Structure 1
Amino acid sequence: MIEAKGLTKRYGKTLAVDDLSFSVEPGRVTGFLGPNGAGKSTTMRMILGLDNPTAGQVTVGGKRYTELHHPLRTVGALLDAKWVHPNRSARAHLMWMAKSNKIPARRVDEVLDIVGLTAVAGKRAGGFSLGMSQRLGIAGALLGDPEVLLFDEPVNGLDPEGILWIRKFMHRLADEGRTVFVSSHLLSEMALTASELVVIGKGRLITQSSTEEFVARAAESTVKVRTPQLDKLRALLAQASATVDIEGDGLIVSGMESEKIGETAANHGVVLHELSPQQGSLEQAFMQITGDSVEYHAALEAEARHALAGQDVR
């Protein structure tokens, strides 16, 4: 379990994370969403002890990351897929990580096989594509067989087969009772992967809820209608204060439930060929909820760190 309480981080005059509190429970995949520059990467860095909070705290299994004796056995993370010495082979990189946490050498070959890199285990990591680097980063996260896993944009550079693989893999990890916390800008994929969401903007918590609740609350549901009497039905629904748009050979209706649309059509002798309720998307819900938070540009965090170059921000 990950638990943040009043988590705050300042870089000079820039407030990157502002009194942020949330929890990530085991047994599910929790998505971490927010506009660029919302503070997601900074939050993950604080979870992993790479940055120290200005105020508040974040714990993993009740302990701060720096208090963990062999941290890779408790927390596995992928924040930057290219954080590998380019002249090291995939196996050498993982072997170095394993030795640092007293992980058996046989585990290196196990995780290479899990992520599909066995055939290139002896090749220089610097020559890997982004997708291969992502797989190597995932292997590193799995190395200690940890109970908690953090992934930042894990599907970057992966082909459709790789994206499907990691989606199923995350579900399997959660089904094993592990805590899985994943940040991604690919909202269509998050809708299929995450059952829980933590959404932030301008460093603050916007909401934490199930994915289903988030979409239902924020995205407007519509109904697709097809009829050979399109103009007549359109006029009837507009008279009933529904919002009606033409799309292809049918109508998209909002502000009226499908049952009411069907009753209206029946009462006026309108033949229906299709009446399909359509739930709003995660992307629509995200844009609706975070619309006021996009003013905070992604460059600010990087500029703040650059301004503090040479200072101890850990």
Structure 2
Amino acid sequence: MIEVRGLTKHYGQTVAVQDLTFTVRPGQVTGFLGPNGAGKSTTMRMILGLDRPTSGTALIDGKPYAELKHPLRQVGALLDAKWVHPNRSARAHLEWMAASNDLPKSRVEEVLRLVGLSEVAGKSAGGFSLGMSQRLGLAGALLGDPKVLLFDEPVNGLDPEGILWIRRFMQRLAAEGRTVLVSSHLLSEMSQTADHLVVIGRGRLISDSTTSDFIERASEASVRVRSPQLDELRSLLTSHGMTVKENDGNADGAALIVNGVASDAVGTLAAEHQITLFELAPQRGSLEEAFMRMTGGDVQYHGEIGSPADATVVMDKPADSEPLFTGGTK
């Protein structure tokens, strides 16, 4: 389990993370979301002991990372898939990590098989594609068979097959009872992967809830309805103050989308006026819609269609911060 309590990080006058509190529990994939510059990477680095908090605590199974005797046995992390000496083979890289935590070499071969890299284990990691590098990073995170895992943007740049593989991989790890925290900007992927969401903006907590609750709370309810009396139904709904828009891109024919109401209200009204319905279906909002609604005021960088005058630069980590380190003793 990961416990973050009152976590705060200042870089001079810049506030990267402010009084952040949440818990990542075992047995589920927890998505860690936020706009660029929200403080996600800084938070993950503080959890892993790479950045020192200004105040507050980040504990892994009740202890700070620095107090873990053999950290790879308790926590694994993938923060930067390309963080590996380019001239080392995948096997040599993992053997170095294993030696730093007194892990047997046999474990290296196990994780190489687990992530599907056995056939290229002797090749230089510098020549790996991004997908192969992600798999090597996953192998390193799993080397000590830890119960706690952190992944920062693990599907960036991957093809659909690679994204599906990593999604199922993370879900399987959670099903084994592990604690899995994953940060990603691919919201459609997170909606299929994460059971729980921690959402932050400008370094502060915005939401800590299940994925379904977050979407339901933050997106507008709507109903899709089809009828052979579409014009009559449209006039009826608008006359009762309902917001209606066309939805004619479906193979089943033209339909209406009624916003801000439950399907019961639309069905009852249609029945009272003897209007036949072919379809009456509640529409679930998307994670993207909910995310934009909840974090729109916390975006740090705006293009020309936003408000450039309001743009504020907030660093996720300073340029001279420590290099990424996902194993071994410090």
Out of 287, 296, 299, the position equivalent to 1:294 is 299
1:262-305 alpha-carbon deviations (Å, 9 max, x no partner) = 22222223222211111111111111111110036796316x61
Q: Does the 8 Å CA contact 1:38/1:298 hold for their aligned counterparts?
A: no
The 5 A counterparts of 1:215-294 are 215-248=215-248, 249-294=254-299
1:195·1:211 contact (CA, 8 Å) conserved in 2?
yes
What per-residue deviation string (whole Å, max 9, x for no partner) do you get for residues 138-162 of structure 1?
1110111001000001111222222
Deviation per CA, 1:99-122, whole angstroms, max 9, x where unpaired?
A: 110111011111111111111111
For residue 251 of structure 2, what is the aligned residue in structure 1?
A: none
DSSP-derived class of the 2:199 partner: strand
- How far does residue 240 in structure 1 lie from its aligned partner after superposition? 1.3
Q: Matches of 2:207 and 2:22 in 1, distance apart?
A: 9
1:1-314 matches, cutoff 5 A = 1-248=1-248, 249-295=254-300, 300-301=314-315, 305-306=318-319
Contact 1:134–1:157 (CA under 8 A) maintained in structure 2 = no
Distance between the aligned counterparts of 2:13 and 2:207, measured in 1? 26
Count of aligned positions? 309
- Asked if structure 2 preserves the Cα contact closer than 8 Å seen for 1:36 and 1:298, the reply is no
Residue range with higher mean Cα deviation, 133-142 or 170-179: 170-179
Q: Secondary structure at the match of 2:318?
A: helix
Write the distance in 2 (CA, Å) between the matches of 1:17 and 1:202.
7
> Using the alignment, how far apart are the partners of 1:257 and 1:7 within structure 2?
40
State the TM-score, normalized to the length of structure 2: 0.90
Q: 2:35·2:300 contact (CA, 8 Å) conserved in 1?
A: no
- Partner SS state of residue 76, structure 1: strand
Residues 221 and 278 in structure 1, CA contact (< 8 A), matched pair in contact too: yes
- Deviation sequence 1:171-201 (CA, Å, 0-9, x none): 2211111100010111111111111111110
For residues 21 and 37 of structure 2, the distance between their equivalents in structure 1, rounded to whole angstroms, comes to 18
Q: Say whether the 8 Å CA contact 1:37–1:298 is kept in structure 2.
A: no
CA deviations on 1:226-246 (whole Å, 9 max, x unpaired) are 122222111111111111000
In structure 2, relative to structure 1, the CA distance for the partners of 1:299 and 1:99 (3 Å cut) is: farther
**CA distance, structure 2, for counterparts of residue 269 and residue 90 of structure 1:** 69
Question: What is the rounded CA distance, in whole Å, between the counterparts of 1:298 and 1:123 in structure 2?
Answer: 44
Letter in 2 for 1:300: V
Equivalent residue of 1:300, what SS? coil
Cα distance per residue 1:198-252 (max 9 Å; x no partner):
1110001111111111111111121111122222111111111111000111111
What is the letter of the counterpart of residue 290 of structure 1?
A: T
15-24 or 158-167, which deviates more: 158-167
TM-score after normalising by structure 1: 0.94
Give the letter for the 1:253 counterpart.
V
- Distance in 1, Cα, partners of 2:139 & 2:239: 59
Is contact 1:223–1:254 with CA below 8 Å preserved after alignment? yes
Q: RMSD of aligned C-alpha atoms?
A: 1.7
Contact 1:47–1:58 under 8 Å retained in 2? yes
Contact 1:20 1:205 (C-alpha < 8 Å) held by counterparts: yes
Q: Which runs of 5+ in 2 are unaligned?
A: 249-253, 302-310, 323-329
Deviates more, 1:226-235 or 1:200-209: 226-235
Q: CA contact under 8 A between 2:37 and 2:300: conserved in structure 1?
A: no
User: Contact 1:171/1:193 (CA < 8 Å) preserved in 2?
Assistant: yes
DSSP-derived class of the 1:88 partner: coil
